[in-house]
């Protein structure tokens, strides 16, 4: 019986390209954890919104009644306006900003847990860090305060029965004219109670 044996390659002749080496198990695990982390972050922001009519957002930090909110960098002014209008709607209907992932701002006030609130919206999440917000609240660093207010993309304020909504930086003092081109007031005045709220609120 004749058997065919493959002859070994001749000396000096390359033996063909080696096969691709598979990824190490540790590398696969590291890549899996990395992509899973990104998916969880953006998935959390996406699911945190009450519905899909507003852009994804996350509460970066909160100190007393001041809240720093982060939205993705590609969020347009129109989308930020819809988010501000959602805050306005909550104030008019239930005044329960817990549904918007915001902790009570006046927890000890018998009139309500959200009598005062100021929400600053940023596309740069660096301004929503707790340390930065604390410096802004305390005013210990004027440069932080100026940078904080100059980087705002949207703003909502509620003081008992008055509210205000803006797009763009927060105008202040002599810089008001300079920021006017980038800032636009959406509304300012008394909170307009919705019909649904008036039906569920007992008469005094």
What range defines the domain where residue 162 resides? 25-200
Q: What is the pTM of this model?
A: 0.70
* Residue 54 located in a structural domain: yes
Which residues, in sequence order, are CB contacts of 31 under 8 Å at separation 6+? none
Mean pLDDT across 117-133: 97
- DSSP H or E run through 47: helix 25-48
Find the range with the poorest average confidence among 123-127, 135-139, 181-185.
Answer: 181-185
93, part of any domain: yes
Q: What's the pLDDT at 25?
A: 79
Please determine, for residue 7, whether its predicted confidence score (pLDDT) is greater than 70. no
The answer to whether residue 9 is domain-embedded is: no
Split into its structural domains, the chain has a count of 1
Output the pLDDT for position 198: 44
Residue 10 lies in a domain: no
| Spatial CB neighbours of 118, under 8 Å, sequence gap ≥ 6 | 65, 66, 67, 155, 156, 157, 158
What's the pLDDT tens digit per position in 87-122? 999 999 999 999 999 999 999 999 999 999 999 999
Q: Residues 5-29, buried b or exposed e (16+ Cβ, 10 A)?
A: eeeeeeeeeeeeeeeeeeeeeeeee
pLDDT at 163: 97
In a domain, 18, yes or no: no
Is residue 58 within 8 Å of residue 119, measured between CB atoms?
Answer: no
Chain segment 162-203, per-residue pLDDT in tens: 999 999 998 875 555 556 667 899 999 999 876 554 444 443
Query: In the structure encoding, which two tokens stand for residue 14, read together?
Result: 């390359």
Provide the token pair at 200.
């569920």
- pLDDT score at 203: 38
In a domain, 6, yes or no: no
Does a structural domain hold residue 186?
Answer: yes
The answer to whether residue 13 sits within a structural domain is: no
Q: What is the pLDDT at residue 137? A: 95
Whether residue 82 is predicted with pLDDT greater than 70 in this model: the reply is yes
**Residue 189 corresponds to which tokens in the numbers above?**
């005045």
Number of other residues whose CB lies within 10 A of the CB of residue 176: 12
Position 125 pLDDT exceeds 70: yes
Query: Contact at 8 Å (CB) between 157 and 134?
Result: no
From CA 196, how far away is CA 204, in angstroms rounded?
17
């Amino acid at each position: 019986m004749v058997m065919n044996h493959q002859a070994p390659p001749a000396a000096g002749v390359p033996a063909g390209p080696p096969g691709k080496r598979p990824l190490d198990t540790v590398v696969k695990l590291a890549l899996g954890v990395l992509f899973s982390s990104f998916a969880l972050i953006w998935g959390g922001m996406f699911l945190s919104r009450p519905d899909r009519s507003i852009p994804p957002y996350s509460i970066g930090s909160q100190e007393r009644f001041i809240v720093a909110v982060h939205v993705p960098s590609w969020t347009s002014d129109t989308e930020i306006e819809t988010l501000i209008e959602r805050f306005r709607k909550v104030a008019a209907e239930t005044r329960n900003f817990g549904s918007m992932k915001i902790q009570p701002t006046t927890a000890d006030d018998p009139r309500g847990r959200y009598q005062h609130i100021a929400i600053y919206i940023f596309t740069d999440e660096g301004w929503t860090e707790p340390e930065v917000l604390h410096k802004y609240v305390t005013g210990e660093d004027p440069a932080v305060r100026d940078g904080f207010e100059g980087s705002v993309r949207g703003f909502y304020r509620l003081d008992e029965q008055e509210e205000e909504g803006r797009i763009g930086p927060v105008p202040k003092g002599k810089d008001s004219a300079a920021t006017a081109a980038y800032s636009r007031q959406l509304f300012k005045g008394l909170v307009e109670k919705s019909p649904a709220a008036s039906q569920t609120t007992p008469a005094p």
